[in-house]
Each structure stands twice: as structure tokens, then as C-alpha cells.
Amino acid sequence: MKIFDAARLRAFLSSDDYLPAKVVVATLLLWEAVVRIGGVQEYVLPAPSVIAVKLVVDRELLLSSLMVTLSITLESLLLAVVCGVALALAIAHSKMLERAIMPFAVTLQVTPIVAIAPLLLVYLAPSHAVLVCAFLVAFFPILSNTALGLASTDHALLDLFDLYRAPAWKKLVYLKLPAALPQFLAGLRIAGGLALIGAVVAELAAGAAGQGTGLAFRIVEAGFRLDIPRMFAALALISLTGLAIHAALALATDALLSRWHESARRRGE
Amino acid sequence: MSAPLVSLIGVGKKFSNGVEPLAKLDLAVREGETLTLLGPSGCGKSTTLRLIAGLTRATRGEIVWRDAPPAPGEIGFVFQEPTLMPWADVAANAALPLRLQNAPRALIASRVREALAQVGLSAFSGAVPRELSGGMKMRVAIARALVTRPKLLLMDEPFAALDEVTRFKLNDDLLALKRDNSTTIVFVTHSVYESVYLSTRVVTLSAQGGAIVDEFDIDPALPRDAAFRLGVDFAHYAHRAAAALQKAIGGAAS
């Protein structure tokens, strides 16, 4: 058996198997080639190989920053889930409460978090301010999606529960919560990405005040030192964190819905 | 004749938006019968069922039960749509009424087995609704309504959305169920064919306000079969039901 088979390699490259991975690899190779052949300076645009080396050399510093950013993101997401679902349940219970709360929720949602962050830093300790920032952006998609899911419970099924005189908590546990699950998960997927954005934005704002050791602060700090490869290395870790959160939530959605929900169904099955 | 199972006396229903599907209906449901309410859309057929089920309250008149008012589980309801819980499998959907009543596990298991056997779905207890055809979903809904062994089964145009072949099959199955159970059935439809084939009595309601336009018994014994469907009697009853429906819409009978 030949180790290198040109015909098989060509067949592999021209097929659309693993297409996304191939595109990523091709882009990285092109980037590497442009930098090397064009003689681009490292402080202008570092090659992927240089960034990779930086990731290894600075691993202790970058990993500790990654843990800071990641824990803020996950804590804020958890807080957003607890508060978002609780408030959605309260809203589903009372139209009056919905009308009272929605103006605040919508105002917070439409006000850019970058503009709120400096104020939060005035009132809160930097670590708390970062958490609250990430929470504020992650909270609304979970609230609105879960509230929508709870409100769109099949009325005939609600009638059926009434027919058998089911108490309110059974309606909630057996009917409304499972019915709202697809919308809740859609909100969670949006919130997962937004929590990371919120954490990074808040770190940038807090970093200017001389605090924080998250990845966003590393980018600012490396920028001051003109350590461009480290800026890229920190940026790569932020992107990978976002991708990991996205993938984890997509997998969770698929595991929970694949058997019964249309969104997880392949056409023609 | 024994006293009716339930009587609607001068019952009216007016919604808060001013719509009044029922003005004043007098109707007695006899024990053991299959009573069909026939009428055009908006004649108050569904509202009548909801009133009997206690899902909505009458704004006029009263509903009198021969015995004590029904306990939960003594009335079964089959909606226009199957209205199954899409995340639960067939057995869990059929078990719902018993679970809501905190019935013991062993009882739930045996009743669900029995109900699924009655509708011919024993082999599908682990399937989720999206894996079933429209007719099968409706069978699950019927099994769910039967699982508490109700005294009174209310069916709100259950087969309206199904194709004709499936509908014929389910009509026959319903007649077979009726043979095995003495359950009283109130069946709502706008199909002349179904009203004659399935029921022992047909009450036709007018398009506005749900006044009774015509009422007649259908004598041939249940269960019926294709011979009845193709016979002269059927044509005779169908003609009468069609004429009543025509009158209900407001046109003259031809």
C-alpha cells in the first residue's frame, strides 16, 4: 500500500466531504503563504504559525485569562437562565405584570451594552460589573423566547387538562414547560453567544480602568505592548470559546428535541 | 323511558365579544345512545359539547345531570385535531388522563394497554406522534379519551381533517368500540354521511343561534356495516339529514 496516493488525494480534495474543515485549512494555508511570500512584518499581520507558537509559549497567561472570561460567561448565562425563566413564568401567569415589566426589559435590550458598562463600573466592583453586563445581554432573549413558548401552548391541550381538573402546577410541569422547551432552547443559543459578547465588552471597559485579567483585557494589554501575535492568540481563544458554547448548545438542543420537534427533523424522513 | 343522562334546558352562550353561538337550546342526551349534532359551521355544535364538558359556562339556562355532576374522568373528549403532546410517546399520551388523576402505576399500565388495543395501536405504544399518520394520531386521541372508561364520550368533528378512506375505517372502528362499550356518545359533525352511519339519533342545529331544525331516530341496530351504508334505508335517512342541513343553512329543502 502506497503512503501517498495522488489519485486518492485528488478525489478527497474534490469531493465535498469535510468541506468546512477543508475551507478553514485552505484559508489558513493561504494566510500563511501571503505573509511569508509577501514578507509581511509580524507586527503588521502575524502568520497563523506564529500565532500558534504564541498560544503555546504564552499558554499559562492565556489559559488563566480564558478561565476568567469563560467563568464570567457561564455564570452570567446561568443567572440569565434562572432569572429569564422565572420572569417568563411570572409573565405567563399575569398579563398585568407583563405590561409592567416589558418596557424595562425592552429598554435594557435596545440600549447598547457598551454604553451601560462604564456606568456599571461606577456603581459596582469591576468583577461584578462584568458579570452584570454579560447577564443583561443574555437575559432578554431567554425571557422573550421562553415567554413566547409558554404563551403558545396548544389551547386544546389546556382544555384537556381542564377537563380532568389538573391543578396549575401539573399544567405547568406536564404541559407548559415541555411545550416551551424549543423556544427556550432557541433563546438559550442566542444568549450563549451574547453572554460572551457582554463579558468581552465589559472587560474592555473595565480593562481601561486598570482591572480584570480576562481575554479581552489581554488583547488591550498586548496592544499597548505592540505584541500583535498575542492579540491574535487571545482573539483566537475568544472565537474558539464562542464556537464551543455554540456547539455545546446545538448538541444539547439536538439531544432534547431530535425525536419530536420539527426543527430537528430532516426533510423527507 | 328512563330519565336522560344529561339535559340542557334553555341553554344559551354569549361570548364577551358579543358573539352568541347558542341562543336557547333544549336537548336531552339519553343513556347509551350515539347522538349526532349536525349543522353548518358556527351553529354552536362545538359550544354545546364544551358546555356539557364543563369547559365553558352557560350564560343562560341550565345543564341538569341525572346523577351527580360528573367526576373528572367520567367524560371523555376528542377534539377536532388529535392534540397530542408531541414530546410524549403514544403510551404516555394515552396515559395522561389517569396520570392527572394520580392513578396507581399498575392500573395506568393495564388501562393504557387495553385502550391502545381497542384502537388497534398496541404495536405503536413507543412511537412519538410525528411518526404516526393522521388517522393513527386520531386513534391515540380516542384511546386517551377511553382510558378512564368514561360514561359519556364527546367528539368534536374528530374525523373532519382525515381523508375519506381513513374516515370510513375510523367510522367502522368507532362502531366496533360502541359494540364493546355501553358508553354514551355525543358526536358533532357537518357530514351527513357520518351522522347517519354512526348515530342512533340525529339533531340538526340551525346556522344561527343553534335552534333545533330537525330531530330523528335512526333505527337499524348498531353496529352497522357496509350493507347498511349501501342500502335503501341509508339513502332514506341521508336524504332526511341532508334536507335538514339545507334548512339549517337557510335554504328550502329540495
The answer to the question of residue B212 being in a domain is: yes
The predicted-structure confidence for B94-151, as pLDDT tens digits, reads as follows 999 999 999 999 999 999 999 999 899 999 999 999 999 999 999 999 999 999 999 9
Average pLDDT across chain B, whole number:
89
A110 CB burial (10 A radius; 0-12, 13-18, 19+): exposed
Q: What is the mean pLDDT of residues B42-67?
A: 91
Instruction: Using an 8 Å CB-CB cutoff, list chain B residues near A163.
Output: 53-55, 72, 75, 77
Nearest residue of chain A to residue B148 (CA atoms) = A164
Of B100, B135, B150, the one marking the end of a domain is B150
**Among A139-148, B33-42, B90-99, B138-147, whose mean pLDDT is lowest?**
B33-42
Q: Give Cβ neighbours of residue B118 (< 8 Å, ≥ 6 apart).
A: B143, B146, B177, B180
The predicted-structure confidence for A32-44, as pLDDT tens digits, reads as follows 999 999 999 988 9
Q: Where are the domains of chain A?
A: 6-38, 48-264
pLDDT value of residue A264:
61
CATH code (residue B239): 3.40.50.300
Is B85 in Cβ contact with A164 (below 8 Å)? no
Classify the phi-psi angles of B186: left when phi > 0, otherwise alpha if psi is within -120 to 50, otherwise beta. Answer: beta
Which amino acid appears at position B32 of this protein?
A: G
Among the CATH numbers 3.30.565.10, 3.40.50.300, 1.10.3720.10, 3.40.605.10, which is that of A48-264? 1.10.3720.10
Residues B43 and B124 placed together within one structural domain of the fold: no
Give the Cα separation of A27 and B124 in Å (integer). 50
10 Å Cβ neighbour count for B250?
10
10 Å Cβ neighbour count for B99?
17
Residues B139 and B209 placed together within one structural domain of the fold: no
pLDDT value of residue B114:
92
Residues B45 and B162 placed together within one structural domain of the fold: yes
Instruction: Using an 8 Å CB-CB cutoff, list chain B residues near A261.
Output: 86-87
Is A163 in Cβ contact with B79 (below 8 Å)? no
pLDDT value of residue B252:
46
Is B85 in Cβ contact with A175 (below 8 Å)? yes
Is B87 in Cβ contact with A164 (below 8 Å)? no
- Per-residue confidence at B166, pLDDT binned at 50, 70, 90? confident
Residues B177 and B216 placed together within one structural domain of the fold: yes
The predicted-structure confidence for A230-253, as pLDDT tens digits, reads as follows 999 999 999 999 999 999 999 999
Is A154 in Cβ contact with B83 (below 8 Å)? yes
**Among B145-149, B152-156, B178-182, whose mean pLDDT is lowest?**
B178-182
Residues B156 and B250 placed together within one structural domain of the fold: yes
pLDDT value of residue B254:
42
Q: How many domains does chain B have?
A: 2
- Per-residue confidence at A265, pLDDT binned at 50, 70, 90? low
Q: Who wins on pLDDT, A190 or B43?
A: A190
Residues B93 and B166 placed together within one structural domain of the fold: no
Residues B224 and B107 placed together within one structural domain of the fold: no
Residues B164 and B47 placed together within one structural domain of the fold: yes
- pTM to 2 decimal places: 0.84
**Among A3-7, A84-88, B163-167, whose mean pLDDT is lowest?**
A3-7
Residues B251 and B176 placed together within one structural domain of the fold: yes
pLDDT value of residue A261:
80
Residues B165 and B231 placed together within one structural domain of the fold: yes
Domain that holds residue B102: 86-150
The predicted-structure confidence for B218-243, as pLDDT tens digits, reads as follows 888 777 877 888 888 888 899 999 98
Is A162 at the interface with chain B, CB within 8 A?
yes
Give the Cα separation of A111 and B89 in Å (integer). 44
Residues B187 and B164 placed together within one structural domain of the fold: yes
Of B150, B174, B200, the one marking the end of a domain is B150
Q: What is the mean pLDDT of residues A147-174?
A: 93
The answer to the question of residue B183 being in a domain is: yes
Average pLDDT across chain A, whole number:
89
- Per-residue confidence at B177, pLDDT binned at 50, 70, 90? confident
- Side-chain-side CA neighbours of residue B41 (13 Å): 2
Of B105, B122, B150, the one marking the end of a domain is B150
The answer to the question of residue B185 being in a domain is: yes
